[in-house]
Amino acid sequence: MSFLPQIVFLIIFGLAAWILAKRVKFLNRNIHLGKGTTRNDQTDARWKTMMLVAFGQQKMFKRIIPAVLHLFVYVGFIIINLEVLEFVLDGILGTHRLFAPFLGGVYVAAMNFFEFLAIAVLLSCVIFLIRRNIVKVPRFTKPEMKGWPSMDGNLILIIEIVLMLAILTMNATDQILAERGVEHYLALGGLAFSGLIQPLFEGLSDMQLIIVERAAWWFHIVGILGFAIYVTYSKHLHIFLAFPNTWYSNLKPKGEMENMPEVTNEVNMMLGIPTDNPNEPPAEIARFGAKDVNDLTWVNVLNAYSCTECGRCTSECPANITGKTLSPRKIMMDVRDRAEEVGKSMDAGGKGLEDGKSLLGDYITKEEINACTSCNACVEACPVNIDPLSIILQMRRYVAMEESGSPAQWNSMFQNMETSFSPWKFSPADRFNWAEKVKEEEIK
């Protein structure tokens, strides 16, 4: 027997692993363009959030139809990947259906279940394609979804469909060969779903069947390796990053805006309040708020790489609903695009962050961030606990404190607050006037 297929397999497998390792390094570095922040407290709550939201798909179930379809694809993905383990071992060892003899009836039951999942995945993907391209669900047709993002969404569905067809074809031809008693092939006693397409291949000779079976096998395994690499370039990174992303969720009340301790020190000094360590010189503050991707935290950038571009945030955003340019999904896509741009430039020995561009300005406009009501609808809606609001508010800080570039009406609000301690221009002396009337009334 020739070892050629095994050698070819090992080369392909090794190559895929090498490319993947490089991609992981690239992505990890990009995420860490963001500033350090610690989110390692309350580990119990973090595990629980991850299990519920990422593993348990809790937030998906706010919309039942996509939730069920997505669940099929998700469960299918995880479980069919168990089969890939056998594929890889078969590929390396030159065996065929390595586990079958050991597992016996369990193996047949498992194969039937995998086939059921393959069909469920296939149908779900077809429905998803229809929702995107024929029904045109509004959240998939927003301006930020033009071009690559929409192509990416469709491509992955088509790849999944083709991969599932390959599994079914492989099983169907494999079983005809086994029934004909061809050496190497094991009869599993009839597989429920691929059995249905067996008649398509009955007319082929043994040799032709072997070619189809092998082709489907190779197509499937190479397809899966290719898919794994493709995922790292795509919004489908969420299938891996949803887990760390939910683990690092913001566990504080949604209304609480992150404090800036560097400001507290200065405020305390201005008000003459003793600080904790008065001898410590004030920290060197690089920049207040966020202008570019490196001013955000790495959790913000991780959020961006975990975004599925599903648009649930945008479809709940009051600003977007009423036609403003703000779209929380676009904010996340912009952060990712900017991180990619900077990362690629750094790898090519280019200018990186010093390319004269910045996230705010070149990607995100002030008009967008000014329109946010900080209502947290986007945060609530996101199935993987992404927080677009955090990014928007950090950018507002940059505009207000570094540029004094807030809208004029906000600047006058700031002034009112400084001079009369109210956002409106009323005399502080009149603050208690409301009580006059009540005090004159008799209790009934």
Residues 276-335 within binding reach of another protein (CB under 8 A): 288-289, 316, 318-319, 321-326
Nearest CB to ligand SF4, comparing residues 96 and 131: 131
Question: Please, which of residues 361-420 interact with ligand SF4 by CB under 6 A?
Answer: 372-378, 381-382, 384, 386, 388-389, 392
Span of 72-80, 115-123, 175-183, 411-419 interacting with another protein by CB under 8 A: 411-419
Question: How far apart are CB 311 and ligand SF4 at their closest, in Å?
Answer: 5
Span of 87-95, 147-155, 206-214, 409-417 interacting with another protein by CB under 8 A: 409-417
222 vs 101, 155, 210, CA distance in Å? 25, 16, 18
Question: Please, which of residues 332-361 interact with ligand SF4 by CB under 6 A?
Answer: 332
Q: What is the CA radius of gyration of the chain?
A: 29
Binding mask 296-335 for ligand SF4 (x = CB under 6 A): -----------xxxxxxx--xxxx------x-xx--x---
Cα 9 from chain centroid? 31
Query: Taking a C-beta distance cutoff of 8 angstroms, is the pair 346, 352 a contact?
Result: yes
Chosen from ligand SF4, another protein, none, partner binding at 148 (C-beta under 5 to 8 Å by type): none
From first CA to last CA, the distance across the chain in angstroms is 103
Chosen from ligand SF4, another protein, none, partner binding at 440 (C-beta under 5 to 8 Å by type): another protein
Question: Please, which of residues 94-153 interact with another protein by CB under 8 A?
Answer: none
Chosen from another protein, ligand SF4, none, partner binding at 311 (C-beta under 5 to 8 Å by type): ligand SF4
Pair of tokens at residue 27 = 């992505």
Per rule CB under 8 A, is residue 275 in the interface with another protein? no
Query: Taking a C-beta distance cutoff of 8 angstroms, is the pair 244, 302 a contact?
Result: yes
Question: How far apart are CB 178 and ligand SF4 at their closest, in Å?
Answer: 44
Chosen from another protein, ligand SF4, none, partner binding at 438 (C-beta under 5 to 8 Å by type): another protein
CB atoms within 10 A of CB 170: 22
Nearest CB to another protein, comparing residues 83 and 316: 316
Q: How far apart (Å, rounded) are the C-alpha atoms in residues 262 and 240? A: 35
Per rule CB under 6 A, is residue 60 in the interface with ligand SF4? no
The correct pick among 146, 233, 417, 419 for binding another protein (CB under 8 A) is 417
Q: Which amino acid is at 99?
A: F
Nearest CB to another protein, comparing residues 95 and 376: 376
| CA torsion through residues 406, 409, 410, 413, sign | positive
Tokens 């009869």 identify what position?
A: 187
The site that binds another protein (CB under 8 A) totals a number of residues, namely: 77
Per rule CB under 8 A, is residue 400 in the interface with another protein? yes
**Nearest in space to 402 (alpha carbons), one of 255, 303, 271, 260:** 260
Question: How far apart are CB 143 and ligand SF4 at their closest, in Å?
Answer: 14
Tokens 């390094």 identify what position?
A: 25
- What are the contacts of 184-190 at 24+ separation with CB within 8 A? 184/96, 185/96, 186/96, 186/97, 186/100, 186/101, 188/100, 188/107, 188/108, 188/111, 189/108
Pair of tokens at residue 424 = 């409106």
CB-neighbour burial class of residue 386 (10 A; exposed 0-12, middle 13-18, buried 19+): buried
Nearest CB to ligand SF4, comparing residues 159 and 384: 384
Nearest CB to another protein, comparing residues 338 and 396: 396
Question: How far apart are CB 400 and another protein at their closest, in Å?
Answer: 3
Question: Please, which of residues 250-269 interact with another protein by CB under 8 A?
Answer: 252-257, 259-260, 263-264, 266-268
Question: How far apart are CB 132 and another protein at their closest, in Å?
Answer: 23
Span of 99-107, 143-151, 247-255, 336-344 interacting with another protein by CB under 8 A: 247-255
Q: How far apart (Å, rounded) are the C-alpha atoms in residues 289 and 295? A: 7
Q: How far apart (Å, rounded) are the C-alpha atoms in residues 334 and 303? A: 12
Q: How far apart (Å, rounded) are the C-alpha atoms in residues 157 and 442? A: 72
Question: How far apart are CB 36 and another protein at their closest, in Å?
Answer: 19
**Nearest in space to 295 (alpha carbons), one of 264, 258, 246, 255:** 258
Question: Please, which of residues 8-67 interact with another protein by CB under 8 A?
Answer: 62
Tokens 């082929």 identify what position?
A: 204
Per rule CB under 8 A, is residue 431 in the interface with another protein? yes
Nearest CB to another protein, comparing residues 80 and 371: 371
CB-neighbour burial class of residue 297 (10 A; exposed 0-12, middle 13-18, buried 19+): buried
> What residues line the site for ligand SF4 (CB under 6 A)?
307-313, 316-319, 326, 328-329, 332, 372-378, 381-382, 384, 386, 388-389, 392
